[in-house]
Amino acid sequence: MSDDFIKNVKTLLASGKGDTKRLTEILDFVKQSNPVYMSDYKYVQNLISDESSNNKMETPDVQPEIKLEDPVALLRLRLAEGKITIDEFRELKKTITEF
């Protein structure tokens, strides 16, 4: 599977978008060198498209955009904003960095 797809799944996990359990299962499935189901592929692509659309609508041109390239940085941001607990941070970071 493409590294971009894996990066997208990790980014979604870090940002808290979508179903964490399903995204984790997709990531585990890919790690086992299994092909991704088309429904899972479309699910991830739709979430990424929604994420991009929401970021463009919410972010004014004056503020710099937060890049979704580093999932761990996003996790740190969510932790700092109080959106996740330290335990959730550790669990998600472990899932993201395992691959």
pTM of the model: 0.58
Could you tell me if 8 and 44 are in contact, meaning their C-beta atoms sit under 8 angstroms apart?
Answer: yes
* 99 vs 35, higher pLDDT: 35
Amino acid at 10: K
Tell me the residue range of the domain where 74 lies: 3-97
Quick check: 56 pLDDT over 60?
A: no
| Total count of domains within the chain | 1
Residue burial 29-63, b: 16+ Cβ < 10 Å; e: rest: ebeeeeebeeebeebbeebbeebeeeeeeeeeeee
Please report which confidence band the pLDDT of residue 55 belongs to, taking 50, 70 and 90 as the band edges: low
Residue 54 pLDDT: 62
Could you tell me if 21 and 14 are in contact, meaning their C-beta atoms sit under 8 angstroms apart?
Answer: no
Distance CA 88, CA 22 (A): 16
Residue 64 pLDDT: 47
15-40 tens-digit pLDDT: 888 898 999 999 888 888 888 889 99
68-97 tens-digit pLDDT: 578 888 888 888 888 888 898 888 888 888
Distance CA 30, CA 22 (A): 12
